[in-house]
């Protein structure tokens, strides 16, 4: 199930998507009409299946065809997997930022950090150094950096 929190301002509609994108998800209905840019916050998307992928692409290709501008913020792991597998998954929208999973070798905690894709590109897709909240911790990126950020390669 997918829930959507919406906030319309003068120039943009911000939507925060939470949950799973599967059968029965109707993005047209959930997001509805909007003015200006569409900002899609993806942090809370926990899963998208193959039907969800078709729904997603139909929706965003459709608003792209209408000349709408849309941006994806804080793309979660399931969304990054699709971006890596399907070359036009963003459908012409800008991927502004992604979530990066880390774990700490010392205190065993796991956490995520958000990173702007423009910063990652400026640093040749090098994963930024991130620390957990305790001093002298040793956070390590929890995935294969090359595979995880493959979609940002040029
Ligand atoms: Zn730690």
Q: What are phi and psi of 32, to 5 degrees?
A: 75, 180
Ligand 1 centroid to residue 129 C-alpha, Å? 13
d(CA 14, CA 134): 33
Query: Is the alpha carbon torsion for 42, 44, 49, 55 positive or negative?
Result: negative
Ligand 1 centroid to residue 105 C-alpha, Å? 7
Only one residue has tokens 């599967």, namely: 22
Per-position pLDDT tens, the chain of length 154:
999 999 999 899 999 999 999 999 999 999 999 989 999 999 999 999 999 999 999 999 999 999 999 999 999 999 999 999 999 999 999 999 999 999 988 888 888 999 999 999 999 999 998 877 777 788 899 999 999 999 999 7
- Please state which CATH class domain 1-95 belongs to: alpha beta
Chain centroid to Cα 125, Å, comes to 16
What's the pTM value of the predicted model, to 2 decimals?
0.94
Neighbours of 29 (CB within 10 A): 8
Ligand 1 centroid to residue 58 C-alpha, Å? 42
């Amino acid at each position: 199930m997918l829930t959507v929190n919406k906030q319309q301002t003068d120039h943009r509609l911000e939507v925060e998507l939470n949950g799973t994108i599967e059968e029965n998800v109707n993005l047209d209905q959930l997001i509805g009409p909007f003015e200006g840019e569409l900002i899609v916050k993806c942090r809370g998307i926990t899963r998208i299946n193959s039907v969800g992928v078709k729904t997603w692409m139909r929706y965003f290709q459709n608003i792209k065809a209408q000349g709408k501008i849309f941006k994806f913020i804080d793309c979660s792991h399931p969304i990054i997997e699709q971006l890596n597998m399907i070359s036009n998954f963003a459908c012409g929208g800008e991927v502004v930022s992604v979530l990066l999973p880390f774990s700490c070798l010392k205190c065993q905690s796991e956490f995520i950090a958000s990173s702007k894709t423009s910063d990652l590109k400026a640093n040749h897709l090098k994963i930024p150094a991130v620390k957990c909240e305790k001093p002298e911790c040793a956070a390590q990126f929890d995935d294969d950096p090359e595979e995880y950020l493959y979609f940002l390669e040029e």
